[in-house]
Structure formats: C-alpha cells, structure tokens
C-alpha cells in the first residue's frame, strides 16, 4: 500500500499534535503514576505524611482512633491548610477539645512540645506521635 503525500502530511500532523498534547500535560508519566500507585499513596505523595498538609498522618489517626464523634483542635504549625473536611472531622480551635492534632511542630534546640508557644498544650498528654506530628488527648 502506497500512501499519498496528503495522507503522509495528515498522519504527521496528527502525530505532531498528539505528541505535543501528551508532553504538555505530562500524560505518559501521569498514566504510569496512576497505574503504579493507589489513590491513598498518591494522596500521601501530594499532601505528605508528616510534612506539608500531613494527609498521611490524618489517615493513620482516622483508622486507629475514633475521632469523628468529638470536636478536635487542629493546628498546622507550618501554616498549611488543615484537612478536616477531607476526613469529615469537626474542627474547633476555640475551646479545649478532647483531642488536639498538632502537625509539623517547629521547635528549637531541646525545646519540647510542652514548653512551646502553645500554652494550652500543657493541658494535654501525648497519645500518639510521629516525628513532629502529634495527637494529644485532654487530661482528665
């Protein structure tokens, strides 16, 4: 089968435009990533485990503790947006809630969380910690 000049031109245009689109939107890598990593893994890659928004830390806490029935104080010390909406948590930073989630806590030298700028932390004890991310529970 011999292709005419016009047909060759037509296929070249399709190929050129298609490759441009695929490169511009990074489609091959996106496809590879979706095939390789599950939804939760990609969420963790994007939001971080205990860094940035710390999606992974929330996800771990939700699975391990029953946090949905109480209001929770949530603080991300690095100023990232908190993810209570993605996990259906009731965030309330105005009162001393039963639980406090403190993420990406920034400290100097030997400073620990109880000597931090957040005075109210003294009313809590550590229930779970991973690096600089804490789940704290209000003392009885």
Partner 1 sequence: MTEIFSIVSQFVIFLLIFSFPLTPKLLNNIIGSKQINFNLVETHSINIIFFIYFCLVCSFFNIDLKILFKVYFLLSLAFFIFNFKNYDFKIKKDNFLSFLFFALVTISIFFSIAQNLKLEWDGHHWIEKVLVFYHNEEIGNLKDVSTHPYYPHLGSYLWAFFWKNSFLEFEYFGRFFYVYFYIVSIFLTLNALNLKNNTVKIFLILFLILITYDAYLFAGYQEYLIFSSLVIASRYIYLINFKSLDNLKSILLIFLILYTVCWFKDEGVVYFSIFSFFLLYFLKITNSQKIFFFLFLTSLLIIQYYLQKYIIGIYDFPEKTSLSTILNNLNNFEIFFIKISKILMHCLIAFVKYPLWLIIIILLLFQLIFIKKIEVHFKYFLTCLLLNLSFIFLIFLTFNHLDFMLRVSLDRLLFQTSGFYMGLILLVLNNLKLFKK
Binding residues for partner 1, rule: CB under 8 A, are 10, 13-14, 17-18, 20-22, 24-27, 29-31, 33-35, 39, 42-43, 46-47, 53, 81, 83, 85-86, 88, 91
- Phi (first) and psi of residue 63, to 5 degrees: -75, -35
**Least distance to partner 1 from the beta carbon of 33, Å?**
5
**Least distance to partner 1 from the beta carbon of 43, Å?**
7
**Least distance to partner 1 from the beta carbon of 44, Å?**
11
Of 48 and 133, the one with the shorter C-beta distance to partner 1 is 48
Of 32 and 65, the one with the shorter C-beta distance to partner 1 is 32
What does the alpha-carbon distance between residue 69 and residue 66 come to, in Å, rounded to a whole number?
7
Q: Please report which residue ranges of the chain form alpha helices under DSSP H.
A: 5-24, 27-36, 39-47, 55-64
- Phi (first) and psi of residue 135, to 5 degrees: -110, 120
**Least distance to partner 1 from the beta carbon of 126, Å?**
27
- Nearest Cα residue to 64 out of 101, 113, 96: 101
């Amino acid at each position: 089968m011999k292709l005419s000049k016009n047909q060759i031109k037509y296929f070249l245009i399709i190929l050129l435009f298609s490759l441009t689109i695929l490169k511009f939107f990074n489609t091959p890598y996106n496809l590879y990533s979706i095939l390789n990593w599950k939804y939760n893994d990609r969420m963790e890659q994007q939001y971080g485990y205990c860094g940035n928004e710390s999606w992974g830390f929330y996800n771990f806490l939700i699975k391990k503790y029953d946090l949905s029935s109480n209001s929770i104080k949530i603080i991300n010390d690095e100023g990232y947006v908190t993810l209570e909406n993605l996990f259906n948590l009731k965030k309330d930073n105005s009162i001393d809630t039963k639980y406090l989630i403190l993420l990406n806590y920034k400290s100097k030298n030997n400073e620990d969380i109880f000597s931090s700028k957040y005075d109210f932390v003294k009313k809590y004890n550590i229930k779970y910690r991973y690096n600089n991310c804490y789940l704290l529970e209000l003392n009885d």
